[in-house]
Every structure is written in C-alpha cells, then in structure tokens.
Amino acid sequence: MALMFGLPLILSPQSASFLGSVEARGGWYPNGLMGGNSSQQFPRHIRNSTTRKPCCVSQKAANPKASPWLPYEKAEVIKSLEDWFENNIITLLKPVEQAWQPHDFLPNPASDGFYEQVKELRERVQELPDEYFVVLVGDLITEEALPTYATMVNSAEGIRDITTSSSEPWARWTRGWTAEENRHGDLLNKYLFLSGRVDMKYVEKTIHYLIRSGADSMSKNDAYRGIVYTSFQERATHISHANTARLAKQHGDTKLAQICGTISADEKRHEVAYVMMMSKLFEVDPNYSILSFADMMRMRISMPGQFMYDGHDENLFTHFSAVAQRLGVYTTKDYADIVEHLVDKWKIEKLTGLSSEASEAQDFLCQLAPKIRKLDERAQARGRYRHGDVPVLFPFKWIFSREVKLW
C-alpha cells in the first residue's frame, strides 16, 4: 500500500478558499487534489493533540446507514471461508527464502566496491528532476506509515490477528503482507538517503508526523469494507509505482526503475489477493458485499497519506498530489479506471437476485466511473484546475525548499 490524485479540483494556493471550500473537497476525486471527505482534510488538531483521534471526526462524515461494526453473522461468513483462504490466498505470499530484499538493489556496504557503487548511484540520480523526487518522497512516506495500515487491518472485525501470532489464515496473511510491504519503504528510504537529492531530516519528520496522525480508511472496522479499501489501494499503489519506474527509466536511472517496478509488482500481487478475497465474498454474500463496495465508494476512497505534514506545509498532501497528477504518476483518470476495474472484476453488472437496496447500489456502482470521468472532463474544460495560465510554483522542504511547479 502507498498511496494517491487527479487534476486539482481547486483554484490555487493563493486563493483564500484553497482547500477550504466544500467545492474544493467535493467531487469524485481521490483526496488531496481530488477532494475527499471534508473531515479528512489536514486536521491540525489531530496532529497536535494526543487526545483527539481521526476516527472521532471521520465517523461523522460516514454514511449514516452503514453499520459501525461488522455484524456477528458476517464475521461467521468470513470464518466459514478459512479453508478457501488457506488454499487460495496464503499461497500468494512469497516464501521468505525466495523473496527479494532491499539489500539486493543497494550498494553493498560489506564490499570493497561500496564507495564506487554509491558514487555511481549519485551520478545516476543527477538526471532526475526535482519534481520526480517530490513524488518519490511522497510515495516513500506513504509506504513508511505501514504501522498504521497494519493496525488498520488488524482492527477489522472478522480478520483481526487476535494474539498477534495467531495461526488463523487471515492473521497469517496480514503478517505476511505486512512483512512484504515493509521492504517497500525500507528500500526507497535507503535509496533516497544515498542519493543525496532529498533533505532526509524533513522526510523523516514527515514520516514521524504521519504515523502519529494515522489514517482513516472509513471502513469502520468492517472486514468487507476493509477488503474493498485494500483492493483499491493496492491497485492505486501498483499504478503509482509503475509510473515512477517508467519516469526513472526515461531519465536514465535504470536501477531506480527496477526498484519501483519490483515494488509495483508486489502491489499487483497484493491487489490480486484482496480482489480475490472480495470476489469470494461476492460469491457467498452478494448483498452485503455490494453494499460495502458502494458505501466505500460513496465516501470516496481516502488516501493513506492524506494527513502528511512536514512541520511547515499545512497542505502538503495536496501539493504532493498536484505534482503526482501533473507528472501522470497518479491521476483522476486512474481513480476512475480503478473503479471501473473493480466493478468489472466483481461482475457487479451481472449480479442478480439482489435486495432493493443492493440493486440501488448496483446502479450507483455501474454508473460511477463514467460519472467521475465526465466530472473530470467538465472541470478541465472549465479551467477549474488552475488559476489563470501562470504556473504555480511551490517550495518543498523535502528537496531543500527548491520550487516545483504544481500546475
């Protein structure tokens, strides 16, 4: 998991309503540029307080029809799938002995050639522009908040790891998934550290802040909704890392391209697992599954890095998202494509025998991706993604306050 955006449905940083208006936060856009739930936007009080928690705020914005907890009988449905899970999902984890490790992609500090390898790395990254590092750092920071995501999954009724060493398949999957994910932030962090292109103190502070702030998936401890969320996010991160790989290659750093591509492949495998889990739930419990899917989409998928903060920029996630959107690393179009992909994968259009509420959800979901695209096109046509034709530059602390074009 890692993060992320679309064209900015906002005006400009100079605008008094920047991120402040309901309009700026509305629309079918991933968080940051693409709006999101108003309660999810940069809660300063959450960052600065040890008494208030994000969930207390976010619950207000959730669909009031949605249950705050997974009903007991739904936990039983999940329990009944243990054998299937053991045979179909656990097998998607890579055995540790066959898995790559960050060390495989980095200069070897125990070798005589270490200093030469570091020198080569630093020469390679010289061709990469600052804006690329803004996006890569944003991706890294989102990966590094893994403790939050592990907690998130372990808070979900029906799949939680009760003893933190449980032998139940759901628990073993979560630990295996976390262990695989742990390498992503580790590898990117070490590569960026050696590159000398980013201000590591600010990168580390942002990670510290983000883990303190947490994230709210809006899944409300419900495993069905949680699996919808992770299905979406794994695909989003797969796309994002694939695009940073593509750009690294374009700028001549083939090693970094290989790193991002390898991480992207992990995300794809995780996506396959979560999508399969949800497909199984659709098979055995279509009504609650489709209501869960629709509920998550109505609330819009919040991005795990949404609360990122470097100690200076109150709108850091939005600014990072703007650059990611402009570079084509993760866009509104990607968001719509993911919705369409999941609707297709879970055969939403073909589900029959649904309750009336579930049929309503089916209509909503089938129309969602085209609706997002239409809104995006309309917003672009109206020039709502920028404030005039003058490029807006922003100084990012992550890259020693050098300015990067937002839009």
List residues forming the annotated binding site for Fe cation. 143, 181, 184, 234, 267, 270
The answer to whether residue 181 is catalytic is: yes
CA distance 15 to 27: 19
Among 25, 270, 386, 397, the residue binding Fe ion under the rule CB under 5 A is: 270
Residue nearest to Fe ion as judged by C-beta position = 184
CA distance 35 to 95: 39
Size of site (CB under 5 A) for Fe ion? 8
Q: Give which of 74, 201, 185, 73 is closest to 136, Cα–Cα.
A: 185
The H or E element that residue 215 is part of is none
The H or E element that residue 402 is part of is strand 402-405
Return the range that interacts with Fe ion (CB under 5 A); candidates 151-159, 261-269, 321-329, 370-378: 261-269
The answer to whether residue 180 is catalytic is: no
CA distance 342 to 329: 20
- Which are the contacts of 16, defined by CB distance < 8 A and separation ≥ 6? none
Q: Does 319 bind Fe ion (CB under 5 A)?
A: no
The answer to whether residue 163 is catalytic is: no
Catalytic choice (157, 222, 266, 376): 266
* Residue 66 or 223 with smaller CB distance to Fe ion: 223
Contact between 309 and 210 under an 8 Å Cβ cutoff? The reply is: yes
CA distance 260 to 127: 17
Give the angle subtended at the CA of 200 by the CAs of 198 and 206, to the nearest 5°: 110
Catalytic choice (84, 86, 100, 341): 100
The answer to whether residue 387 is catalytic is: no
Among 175, 184, 205, 225, the residue binding Fe ion under the rule CB under 5 A is: 184
Which amino acid, one-letter code, is at 71?
Answer: P
* Residue 131 or 267 with smaller CB distance to Fe ion: 267
Catalytic choice (181, 186, 216, 222): 181
* Contact string (CB under 5 A) for Fe ion, positions 108-147, x = contact: -----------------------------------x----
* Residue 17 or 151 with smaller CB distance to Fe ion: 151
Min separation Cβ 163 and Fe ion, Å: 24
CA distance 85 to 277: 8
Binding site for Fe ion (CB under 5 A): 1-2, 143, 181, 184, 234, 267, 270
Catalytic residue list: 100, 143, 181, 184, 234, 237, 266-267, 270
